[in-house]
Amino acid sequence: MSALRKDSLIEGDFPLTLEDFRDIAAMLYADARIHLTDSKASLVYSRLIKRLRALNLESFADYCALLREEEAERSEMLSALTTNVTRFFRERHHFEHFSSSVLPGLLARARRGARVRLWSAGCSSGEEPYSIALTVLEQDPRAADLDIKVLATDIDPRMIARGRDGVYPEAALAEDVSTGALQRFFFKEGSARRAAGELRKMVAFRRLNLNGDWPMRGPFDIIFCRNVAIYFDDATQEALWAKFAAMLAPGGWLYIGHSERVDGPASAYLDSAGVTAYRRNAKPQGGAQ
Ligand SMILES: C[S@@+](CC[C@H](N)C(=O)[O-])C[C@H]1O[C@@H](n2cnc3c(N)ncnc32)[C@H](O)[C@@H]1O
């Protein structure tokens, strides 16, 4: 029976008031800088209602009280509210650009003994970093023996665990990954396949909040950060672009999502150079961070 409350934004089994919604949005912003407008109330409702039921709570107000006390539930909330949609070789034009215009030079450097670092920032369940590693291995099957590594980070610990597991349904893989790569780099496990061998060796998964402190020193030669900044407000996006510019080697590339755009102080260091592709110029970055 739904207990209707005058100030309900959503009047389901558990009414969600504007105050509850704003509490939740404020906690998500404080933890991840993910920005929820009031229009996201029904999304919040549908994603969190399962938590209320699992925890036997009677109202969103009780859930908010729990969130204030329990770090572990904050992490559950984050996992429930982040959008993790992804697929292998999503926005394929970036992989084509990377493969034809950037990778040959990086491989030549790596064969001379240089260190090459690639980063999938906001990697979700791992399809993006594995697609980067597959692109490298396709061009040089011995790349795993060189000093080339793909760092894969996400704020959501569940996604990091899934990426580390590296298990994907065969049907999803078959749609986007070539048969040769499937057979060579993934072990069959029933109706799924697990990333293995050289592919697994090249990718390291770590939990990281892009809007927190970064322990890595860089520099990175390539950063993929696609369909992540879209969830942040303008100021947070600008700060993130500036941190990426500071992490990229001169000549390094940043690929962003189809609906994103580098803006703010970082524009002085990241030259637009193709569809949602930016190249770090050689200007020293005093204070853009
Ligand atoms: C829609 S997925 C994008 C996955 C992949 N980059 C792609 O384009 O297919 C967005 C990912 O960003 C992550 N994310 C959101 N806020 C984040 C933050 N503050 N720090 C790191 N990752 C974050 C989410 O957990 C989610 O896995």
pLDDT digits (tens, 9 = 90+) for 39-98: 999 999 999 999 999 999 999 999 999 999 999 999 999 999 999 999 999 999 999 999
Q: Tell me: do 39 and 131 sit in the same domain.
A: no
* Domain of residue 174, CATH code: 3.40.50.150
Q: Which domain holds residue 33?
A: 8-81
pLDDT score at 9: 77
Checking if the pLDDT of 221 tops 70, the result is: yes
Q: What does the pLDDT look like over 186-195, one tens digit per residue?
A: 999 999 999 9
CA–CA gap between residue 1 and residue 221 (Å, rounded): 57
How many angstroms is it from 84 CA to the middle of ligand 1? 6
> Would the CB of 74 count as within 6 Å of ligand 1?
no
CA dihedral 25, 31, 34, 37 (to 10 degrees): 10
The answer to whether position 38 is within a domain reads: yes
The answer to whether position 266 is within a domain reads: yes
Stretch 103-128: mean pLDDT = 98
Cα atoms in the 13 Å half-sphere on the side-chain side of 24: 31
Checking if the pLDDT of 228 tops 90, the result is: yes
> Would the CB of 267 count as within 6 Å of ligand 1?
no
Q: Tell me: do 98 and 234 sit in the same domain.
A: yes
Checking if the pLDDT of 284 tops 60, the result is: yes
| Residue 154 known to be catalytic | yes
- Cβ-contact 269, 280 below 8 angstroms: yes
> Would the CB of 210 count as within 6 Å of ligand 1?
yes
CA–CA gap between residue 133 and residue 209 (Å, rounded): 22
Q: What does the pLDDT look like over 24-43, one tens digit per residue?
A: 999 999 999 999 998 999 99
* Distance from chain centroid for Cα 101: 24
pLDDT score at 15: 87
AA identity, residue 133: A
What is the Cα gyration radius of the chain?
Answer: 21
Q: Tell me: do 111 and 239 sit in the same domain.
A: yes
Strand 167-169 versus strand 192-195 pairing type: antiparallel
The answer to whether the Cα torsion of 104, 168, 152, 237 is positive or negative is: positive
Q: Tell me: do 130 and 61 sit in the same domain.
A: no
How many angstroms is it from 10 CA to the middle of ligand 1? 27
AA identity, residue 74: R
Q: Tell me: do 169 and 252 sit in the same domain.
A: yes
Q: Tell me: do 100 and 26 sit in the same domain.
A: no
Minimum CA distance residue for ligand 1 atom 7:
86
Q: Could you give the C-alpha distances from 153 to 18, 110, 209, 246, in angstroms and in order?
A: 33, 23, 8, 18
Phi, psi of 186 (to 5 degrees): -130, 130
**What is the full DSSP assignment across 218-245?**
--EEEEEE-SSGGGB-HHHHHHHHHHHH
| Residue 47 known to be catalytic | yes
The answer to whether position 258 is within a domain reads: yes
Cα atoms in the 13 Å half-sphere on the side-chain side of 83: 15
Q: Tell me: do 50 and 140 sit in the same domain.
A: no
The one catalytic residue in 20, 31, 154, 156 is 154
Minimum CA distance residue for ligand 1 atom 2:
84
